[in-house]
Structure 1
Amino acid sequence: MLLSLLLTLTPIKSDILRGFYGREAQAWLLGQVAQYDADLAEDLHRPNTRRPYTVSTLIVNDAGRRGPDGEIAIVRGNEVQLRITSLDTSLSELLLAKIVPNLPQHLRLKWTEFCELRLSEENGWDDQTTFEELIEDASAQKGESVTLEFSSPTAFRFEQVDQTLPTPELVWKSLYQRWNSFAPERLHLDPLWPDFARRCLVVSDFSLRSMKVAFQNGQKGAATGATGRATYRLLPEKHCGEFAAFRPGAANVLRTLAGFALYAGVGHHTTIGLGQTRWLRSSRSLQD
């Protein structure tokens, strides 16, 4: 089961949020998991593996005022949000059966305290599905382009260098790798998909800006990524060269991975807040 949850938190007092809260949110989630399943928590924290979850930083609505250095003012009583996704059935079931029904009434992230944790109402960033249902949904849709919204800085590690532009090759390779890591083997995509994406997908429209975030804790203290929107369009078969044979079914794969982005995130550091992404089927924003 694939799961995307949005939690609401209420600040106990007005405060200034400095830096990125992704690492602290990840630590809180792993602590919650460990209370009910220590082995699963250890697996989720295993290094050098693709982890089956994502965690956002704190999400502040438009009432939060951003300062020149990226600091955000939050107001006592004005709700903020935290998003968690799972690509693993065991984790998804634990979240729904144990963690969400028993959310703590108080939470401290860095030096900021919150109360009244609860599950948020539906807003386009929360859902649950299966890999099979994603494929069925993609088959029922039409069109040969998709627009992705990158709501938190999205970056990639490519040939030992950090890359900030969400190019077709980097975006769709990232989604392909996560899909084949967690989907049932019978649903795995062809290994040539990343090469196909590099050759046969183009960015036809975009509205992007770069954003630098400071994690503060740990050795890797900062990252720069892209936020905004980008539309990816399939080229006609005649422009796909040696990949022309893959072109007839490519639109279904494109839409399937676009739907998968809600749960998987895009790029690196998705477990500490980067790469929060969704297929934009409406004009709503994560912080609407």
Structure 2
Amino acid sequence: MPRRTPKKLNSPESNLIWSPDTELVGLVFELLSEADVSIYPQYTIGLHAWFLDQVRSFSPELSAYLHDGESEKPFTISALDGEMVSSGREVQLKANTTYYWYVTALSSRVVQWLLQWVQNLPTQLNLRDAPLQIRSCQIAHPATTYAQLLNSEHGETVTLKFTSPTSFRRKGHHFPLPMPTNVFHSYLRRWNDFSGIPVEQEAFLFWVDENVLITRHQLTSAKVLAGKKGAVTGFTGAIEFGLTKEASKQPDFCKLFYALGKLAPYCGTGHKTTFGLGQTRLGWSSQVAPEVPDVQSLLARRVEELTDIFKAQRKRTGGDRAEETATKWATILARREMGESLQVVAQDLEMPYETVKTYVKLARRALKNPVSVPPSPTS
């Protein structure tokens, strides 16, 4: 196990202290790659697993809650922010280059665990075969509470920038546009789960649909990998929301509108926020978000292509199970085609190795013989 970080990381300059009543906080880690190293395209799975392993090491009870608790996860993590290039079938991190990694907490329980953890951080973040040195940890989003967000001062608009691909689920499909109801529904779900100040969802979203305007936007789209399985088309860029004159007739909803905007950097936007998607910041930026490395886009396109093929073959059976199976087959086969071992894929997907081995055989057989698709074993 790596040595623990010297206390100098937690010097007064780092300000890694917050009050016991804190409910929200965001941290940024400065990581250093000491050599040129290659990581697999879906490396955010590794970041996710490393973080949860840290939780398990310090608090098995909290770890069980994060795995099995409520539907909304009380934390987010980002992908690595820094210079990356495609290297064959992998993504390469450059020697002596700094990368930044963001972690946020959305509930007092996770916030207080973070406070204990940062006092005794490991010196390395082990991303499979790519050890990254933890050089520093700082507060990125101030420690606060939901009540403070609700009662804080605000401007006339809510302006957000999406720094990593962002997408929503709508009618069983991915929806890569920041429509007001989708955006604020995303934030309201987290608010209602963790704030202790619940709001009637249907009434608020009706108000959003009637009164929230898009006053300007600058968006682009990209196809990306989505957590452990599948691919999505997501958007990055910036958007500004304003209110109609009639919105002020419901001042409590106006107040919540601005509070949810301030919640965005902590909770992220859309889905798969614990795997790096939906990273959100306040303010406008015309700067283009970093491009997804070619190998990640290539794998995402291949996963989507295979998913469509397997779903079409199974359309006569339909249902969520058929779609889930098609996505699993596509993810496993695409990653195997990219040269990854089935042992690693099984570990990432938290599936038995023999099941993954069977799935890749069935997927290959289905590509060769698309008319007859054999039944899938239970994973």
Partner of residue 184 from structure 2, selected from 160, 172, 182: 172
Match of 1:27 in 2: 49
CA contact (8 A) 1:10 1:78 kept: yes
Match of 1:127 in 2: 142
Matched position secondary structure for 1:126? strand
Partner AA of 1:258 in structure 2: G
Instruction: Report runs of 4+ in structure 1 exceeding 4 Å deviation.
Output: 65-73, 281-287
Task: Give matches, 1:259-274, under 5 Å.
Answer: 259-274=262-277
Match of 1:96 in 2: 115
- The structure with the largest helix share of the pair is 2
1:78 aligns with 2:97: yes
1:141 aligns with 2:154: yes
Residue 33 and residue 71 in structure 1: after superposition, are their counterparts in 2 closer, same or farther (change >3 A)?
same
Partner AA of 1:176 in structure 2: L
Distance 2:165 2:287 in 1: 18
Partner AA of 1:114 in structure 2: L
Distance 1:260 1:245 in 2: 23
Partner AA of 1:2 in structure 2: L
Partner AA of 1:182 in structure 2: F
- More moved, 72-81 vs 25-34: 72-81
Partner AA of 1:235 in structure 2: T
1:278 aligns with 2:281: yes
Partner of residue 76 from structure 2, selected from 47, 54, 57: 54
Residue 71 and residue 148 in structure 1: after superposition, are their counterparts in 2 closer, same or farther (change >3 A)?
farther
- The structure with the largest strand share of the pair is 1
CA contact (8 A) 1:168 1:203 kept: yes
CA contact (8 A) 1:154 1:275 kept: yes
Partner AA of 1:6 in structure 2: V
Q: Note the C-alpha offset of 1:78.
A: 1.3
Higher relative CO (CA 8 A, sep ≥ 6), structure 1 or 2? 1
Match of 1:190 in 2: 200
Matched position secondary structure for 2:255? helix
Task: Give matches, 1:201-212, under 5 Å.
Answer: 201-212=212-223
**TM-score computed with the length of structure 1 as normaliser:** 0.83
Q: Mind listing any 5+ residue stretches in structure 2 that lack a counterpart?
A: 1-22, 291-379
Distance 1:208 1:284 in 2: 11
Paired positions, count: 267
List per-residue Cα deviations over 1:6-53 (Å, max 9, x = no partner): 111111212355524322111111111111110110110127711111
Q: Note the C-alpha offset of 1:155.
A: 0.6
Q: Over alpha carbons, which structure has the higher Rg?
A: 2
Matched position secondary structure for 2:68? coil
Q: Note the C-alpha offset of 1:126.
A: 2.7
Match of 1:236 in 2: 245
Partner of residue 105 from structure 1, selected from 123, 134, 140: 123
1:223 aligns with 2:223: no
CA contact (8 A) 2:164 2:289 kept: no
Residue 228 and residue 69 in structure 1: after superposition, are their counterparts in 2 closer, same or farther (change >3 A)?
farther
CA contact (8 A) 1:149 1:279 kept: yes
Match of 2:163 in 1: 151
Residue 81 and residue 100 in structure 1: after superposition, are their counterparts in 2 closer, same or farther (change >3 A)?
same
Distance 1:233 1:76 in 2: 44
Distance 2:160 2:263 in 1: 11
List per-residue Cα deviations over 1:41-69 (Å, max 9, x = no partner): 01101277111111111111xxx255599
Residue 285 and residue 253 in structure 1: after superposition, are their counterparts in 2 closer, same or farther (change >3 A)?
farther
Identity %: 29
Partner AA of 1:156 in structure 2: F
**TM-score computed with the length of structure 2 as normaliser:** 0.64
Matched position secondary structure for 1:189? coil
Residue 250 and residue 282 in structure 1: after superposition, are their counterparts in 2 closer, same or farther (change >3 A)?
farther
Matched position secondary structure for 1:76? coil
Matched position secondary structure for 2:205? helix
Distance 2:279 2:204 in 1: 22
Match of 1:115 in 2: 133
Matched position secondary structure for 2:32? strand
CA contact (8 A) 1:19 1:213 kept: no
Residue 183 and residue 48 in structure 1: after superposition, are their counterparts in 2 closer, same or farther (change >3 A)?
closer
Matched position secondary structure for 1:208? strand
List per-residue Cα deviations over 1:130-188 (Å, max 9, x = no partner): 01111121xx2231x2111111111111121111111111001111111011111xx22
